[in-house]
Amino acid sequence: MARTYLAGALAIALSLEFGADVARATDGEFGGECVMGLALGKDIKTDCSVNTVYNGKTYCFGNETAKSLFLKKPEEFLTQAQIFYSSKQPPQ
């Protein structure tokens, strides 16, 4: 039983690592800006090397601390980030 659990955990860890490599190859949502920066009303460009995939979308962060904070309340921070990001976009 423990072997099955460990094998499953290892498979998940490897797939997450592979997914992170793929995510780094993209710009991410919000033009690659730090989601937490946007949620706080700031523009922080990133290289998207620190990122997470949430609901099928890649979000970038300026550092691991920002990512950890985001993961505690992702919906709340995404709403705040979207409001600020949208306010900077030209009307369509």
How many CB atoms neighbour CB 31 within 10 A? 14
Which tokens in the block code for residue 29? 């949502």
Which tokens in the block code for residue 23? 């995510």
The amino acid present at 5, given as its one-letter code, is Y
Strand partners, 65: none
Tens digit of each residue's pLDDT, the chain (92 residues):
545 443 443 344 334 444 444 444 457 999 999 999 999 999 999 999 999 999 999 999 999 999 999 999 999 999 999 999 999 877 76
Which tokens in the block code for residue 55? 């609901």
What is the per-residue pLDDT for 74? 98
Spatial contact of 48 and 60, defined as CB atoms under 8 Å apart: yes
What is the per-residue pLDDT for 15? 40
What is the per-residue pLDDT for 63? 97
Which tokens in the block code for residue 67? 């990512």
For the chain, the domains span 2-88
